[in-house]
Amino acid sequence: MLGLGVALYFTLPLEPPWYAGPGVVSVLLAAAWLGRRHGYVLLVLLALLAIAAGFWAAQDRSNRVAGLVLEKRIGPVYLTGTIVNIETRPRGFRLSLREGEIPKRPRWRAPTLVRLTLRHSPEPPLVVGDRISLRAVLMPPAGPAAPGAYDFARAAWFKEIGAVGYAVSRAKVVAAADRTGLNLRIVEWRRNLAQHIRRQLPGTAGAVAAALMTGDRGAIPEAVLQDMRDAGLAHLLAISGLHVGLIAGWLFFTLRFLLALVPGLALRAPIKKWAAAAALLGAFAYMVLTGATVPTQRAFLMLALMMLAVMLDRVAISFRLLAWAAVAVLLWAPESLLSVSFQMSFAAVVGLTAIYENYGPVMVRWRSDGGRAKRFSLYLGAVLLTTLVASLATAPYALYHFNRAAMYGLAANLIAVPLTALWVMPCALAAFVLLPFGWEQLALVPMGYGIEAMLVVADTVAGWPGAVALVPAFSVWPLAVMTLGGLWLCLWRGRWRYGGVVAIVLGIVLAAHGDPPDILIDGRGKAMAARLDSGAILVAAPYRRKSITLDTWLRRWGRQDPVKDERVMRCDRLGCALVKHGHKVGFVRDARALEDDCRVADLVLSAVPVTFNCPSAKLVIDRFDLWRRGAIAVRWRNGEINVVGANDDRGDRPWSRPRGKP
């Protein structure tokens, strides 16, 4: 219910008044107090109160992070700001700057946070806290590349990012960092540790080791990341519940084992609780060291509740603990409900908790009654079951957000997950322990061998025929139906829980009957692409492999690569012409092409303003429409032209308002 309230806030077409959330919560609190003696009435009121609380939390969060967002593209301009984060990239760095100043602009008009790509390696190296000056091109955070696609502008709003861009000069330090602050020292130590690991363990293995130990994935080559995604192993590189749990688990069992070797302690002291407390501290240190991202905070919160339950002699894994963790995350960062990390991690944990609550006691009995061979077989079976359940639980979200499914992920995880759990992460923990003594090489070298084996698995599985299935994009409603069906299946007891299977099947059917667009044009009128009945994708802009917009379009169409067929789409400097479903489409880049297209085209898509009537056109979409509605999707249905803009469903919200001038 709390999540429904958060979702309700984000689906509104208009920003609600500030008193909407607290007002409704106050009314429902009063009503719940008055109806406290009526059981069913109180239950309904509490459910409504949870929805209102989620709505208020999201509204309050949006108001608290509100800041200036750049109105239009500017630059190159001189920018001065203080570095708050440095991310290593395969080609350069990405800097986040606060307290920005732009000449000829009042200080208060500078965006709260500016994120820049820096291609040049700075000399001397930059550190967090340095105040730097450089020339850069700045832009507002981009909206969705297509209707229903990922909304970076909304994500940037809640991260307080008011501008993005790239540097066109080297950064010059105008004021050195004050290195006395704890946060600065942690960030700098984290970056130095990542660099030290990559020096001690060169190559891709070192980049992956640095990612697992510090959360810095920027140095991992894109080809390796793609192999991991295609093999269904990308979750092994993102610091999440798996890694936090492994670090805490190895600390817990190792310390408990060592304490059990001392008979006096084992018989008289609560060594299990001591081990739980130590594991909790170790997990906290690991979270801080890896950057304390939202997924890591969520994983640590769930682990903290588990270890607290151990110390209080309560059940360590239950839906109650999972629910409290979800409540805490949604109240602290309501926008995380929309993130793929929140959805996939909680989906996986809900499914695993449901399975092991039902079959865990049986597996424990089997383990206690068997020998080594039976225990080893049970372990392999548990890994297989865990991978299968987690893969099925997260599949709808992977398909919705990434439009792809790793078909052999089960086989890859069956090898890579035990390899990570029993070899790679224990070596990482040993490296942390040995680091103060300068002996970390003893653990990093074997860790590198394990990582290389993991990468071999990823490369092999990704190369199998049909390793990746691409699916066209579908709307959020089938995902919502599948989510509610999965929750119904996992949370209820008794036979009626299987009604959730019906909802899941219904969601799959709805997703399979998606309606991909025939034509897409970006919000600036710079590029256009069309889908033929054969499934081929034609692009009307020069093909650029690194184009985020084109990659998004291809992914949402369920395609890997576009084709260019000049016989079907004729292009020149002024624009392009296309025949689609027997209708002529004109894509205008230059105003000189308008006169011809307006005489023959049924649909005119123009990157320039159209200030006169087009006699032949049933519909004209010009620069003003693109500025107002964002990226446009066009469909021909029953002879009619249907047009949907990316901004149509976003409403008039702080992060969705058109920036600058058309």
Q: 112 and 59 in one domain?
A: no
The Cα angle at residue 447 between residues 443 and 185, in degrees rounded to 5: 65
In eight-state DSSP terms, residue 142 is: P
Q: 503 and 403 in one domain?
A: no
- Amino acid identity of residue 59, one-letter, is Q
Q: 398 and 266 in one domain?
A: yes
Residue 660 has pLDDT above 80, yes or no: no
Number of domains in the chain: 5
Pairing of strands 603-606, 619-621: parallel
- What distances in angstroms separate CA 57 from CA 23, 159, 284, one per listed residue? 13, 16, 26
For residue 220, being part of any structural domain is answered with no
Torsion of CA 651, 652, 653, 657, to 10 degrees: 110
Residue 536 has pLDDT above 90, yes or no: no
Percentage of the chain beyond pLDDT 90 is 27
For residue 595, being part of any structural domain is answered with yes
Q: 637 and 494 in one domain?
A: no
For residue 200, being part of any structural domain is answered with no
Cα of 325 vs its chain's centroid, Å: 19
Q: 84 and 43 in one domain?
A: no
Q: Among 74, 11, 15, 63, which residue's Cα sits nearest to residue 659?
A: 74
> How would you class 261 by CB atoms within 10 Å of its CB: exposed for 0-12, middle for 13-18, buried for 19 or more?
exposed
- What distances in angstroms separate CA 335 from CA 55, 290, 309, 588, one per listed residue? 11, 21, 28, 38
Separation CA 141–CA 112 (nearest Å): 13
Max mean pLDDT range (153-167, 183-197, 298-312, 553-567):
153-167
- What pLDDT does 566 receive? 47
- The pLDDT-based confidence of 562 (bands split at 50, 70, 90) is low
- The pLDDT-based confidence of 543 (bands split at 50, 70, 90) is low
For residue 209, being part of any structural domain is answered with no
- What pLDDT does 575 receive? 84
Element (H, E) at 492: none
Domain that holds residue 535: 519-645
For residue 342, being part of any structural domain is answered with yes
Q: How many CB atoms lie within 10 A of CB 303?
A: 24
Q: 59 and 26 in one domain?
A: yes
- The pLDDT-based confidence of 662 (bands split at 50, 70, 90) is low
Q: 22 and 138 in one domain?
A: no
Tens of pLDDT, residues 564-593 = 544 457 777 888 888 877 778 888 888 888
Q: 130 and 260 in one domain?
A: no
Instruction: Judge whether 605 and 585 are in contact, CB under 8 Å.
Output: yes
Q: 451 and 383 in one domain?
A: yes
Tens of pLDDT, residues 184-225 = 777 778 888 888 999 889 889 999 999 889 888 878 888 898
> How would you class 35 by CB atoms within 10 Å of its CB: exposed for 0-12, middle for 13-18, buried for 19 or more?
middle
Q: 237 and 127 in one domain?
A: no
Torsion of CA 185, 187, 193, 195, to 10 degrees: -120
For residue 151, being part of any structural domain is answered with yes
Q: 34 and 79 in one domain?
A: no
Residue 175 has pLDDT above 70, yes or no: yes
Query: Taking phi first (over 0 means left), then psi (-120 to 50 degrees means alpha), and beta for anything else, what does residue 314 get?
Result: beta
Separation CA 651–CA 654 (nearest Å): 9
Q: 288 and 363 in one domain?
A: yes
